[in-house]
Structure 1
Amino acid sequence: MKVISTNIAQPTKIQWNGEEITTGIFKQPINTPITLEKEIVANDIIADRKVHGGIYKACYLFSSDNYPYWKEKYSHLDWNWGMFGENLTVEGLDESKLCIGNTYRLGTALVQITQPREPCFKLGVKFGTQDILKQFLDHGFPGTYVSVLEEGEVTVGDVFELTQESENALTVQQFYRLLFSRKKDKDIVKLAIENQAVPLYKRERLKKFL
């Protein structure tokens, strides 16, 4: 996996249900490294700390490999890296193989894979239709958040060097599908509950499905 774009946002005002709200989803590529801090990317805007940022969502990654699929569906949009609100656009990121709990040296930072992105209405605002939410769920490649174990700088061209492979086989895609499936696969539920990289509150919520 290799970083091909670093992206941050300025606060942007949007209209939703008759109210004006602020969002940081309108990321733009920058020509300088970004600094990964423990709970946020430095100089990036996080409008709602309830659902973004924090130790389990310090930085969001999305795969450049999936851009052609979405460009074909939304060819009328003005495309650039950062379109999905990701801080890092990554070549070769495959959620079906990427295990939650894997730890990587990335630039001078050390990061751990934690959880998939769960889309909200702001993605629909960005794309001009809330239909993209179901499409995003169905496609099954949501990108991933990481925890920052060691703060550091990341720049275009940096590669992910695996420093510790997760002992738990749960992939980002498996967890993503588990979160949104009505009928929970108990084997996957057990994997998620036992995975220490998954946020504790999500592991606790899943226990009721056993």
Structure 2
Amino acid sequence: MTPPIELATVRAVRVGRPRELTDEQGRSWHSAFLKDPAKGPVALGFDGLAGDEQADLRVHGGPDKAVCVYPLLRLAEWERELDVGPLGAGAFGENFSVDRITEAEVCIGDVWEVGGSVVQVSQPRGPCWKLARRWAIKDLAVRFQRTGHTGWYLRVLQPGLIHSGQAVRLLRRPHPDWTVLRANRVHYGDDSEEKAALASCPELGRSWRTKLAAGAADPAAVSSSSQHRRLFGPSGGGHL
């Protein structure tokens, strides 16, 4: 048996519950975007970390999106791009902040050992308007989507206890050609054949497989209005 390969270290673990927030214009919004550092080891179950919740279960949470991960290596890029900073762990509402790896090195279906838990990379993160509202940058979700530097989600195969400082060890990589970065480019691109190929990946999250299959069969079937709402808010006309 091939020994596990150490890919990265979990440098921060963060959890949060929905709360009422106020933007720079004094408008309130309900979100669990702001995450607090976990105090000591935290239980990781099939639906996520203990103490972590989502404000809108229609689009967030569930077994395919139990844990949101963002690579620390991207933060310096965003500091330069957005002229903000310094950005730190949790800047984009993630649960795990990891070092050494990005969307270009992580693949759909990767199985990782983290502490006593076993997790699997399920899909890229689909950026939404709450990123933009948090940082008061109207097109921030669009920029995330365009770059493919979105982070990714994990599903839990074996629950366990998680804390910062634990190694991320790769146990299996069934789809080395399907990096998270490539999956993002295919999902938001126009190549029907590649969409169909990605849709056939059984380890990919169900919602992404459904959308990709629909887009491969009929590009017009994918609603541009729903994409606009996700990127710019419920009104579809901007939120800042």
With the length of structure 1 as denominator, give the TM-score of the two structures: 0.89
- RMSD across aligned C-alpha pairs, in angstroms? 2.3
Counterpart selection for 1:51 from 42, 56, 59: 59
Point out 4+ residue stretches in structure 1 off by more than 4 angstroms. Answer: 75-78
In the other structure, the counterpart of 2:4 is: none
Gaps of 5+ in 1: none
What's the CA shift for 1:204? 3.2
Q: Within 5 Å, which residues of 2 pair with 1:149-168?
A: 149-167=157-175
Counterpart selection for 1:2 from 2, 9, 13: 9
Gaps of 5+ in 2: 1-7, 218-240
Answer with 1 or 2: which has the greater Rg.
Answer: 2
Q: Deviations over 1:141-178 (max 9, x none)?
A: 11110000111112111111111221463111111122
Identity across the alignment (%): 26
In the other structure, the counterpart of 1:111 is: 119
Larger deviation, residues 88-97 vs 70-79: 70-79
- Match of 1:163, SS state, is strand
What's the CA shift for 1:201? 3.9
Aligned partner letter, 1:33: P
In the other structure, the counterpart of 1:176 is: 184
In the other structure, the counterpart of 2:129 is: 121
With the length of structure 2 as denominator, give the TM-score of the two structures: 0.78
Larger deviation, residues 150-159 vs 195-204: 195-204
Aligned residues of 1:6 and 1:33 also touching (Cα < 8 A): no
Aligned residues of 2:123 and 2:180 also touching (Cα < 8 A): yes
Counterpart selection for 2:201 from 183, 191, 195: 195
Aligned residues of 1:28 and 1:80 also touching (Cα < 8 A): no
Aligned residues of 1:65 and 1:92 also touching (Cα < 8 A): yes
Aligned partner letter, 2:18: P
What's the CA shift for 1:79? 3.4
Q: Count residues in correspondence.
A: 208
CA distance in 2, matches of 1:27, 1:146: 17
Aligned partner letter, 1:163: L
What's the CA shift for 1:200? 2.9
Aligned partner letter, 1:195: C
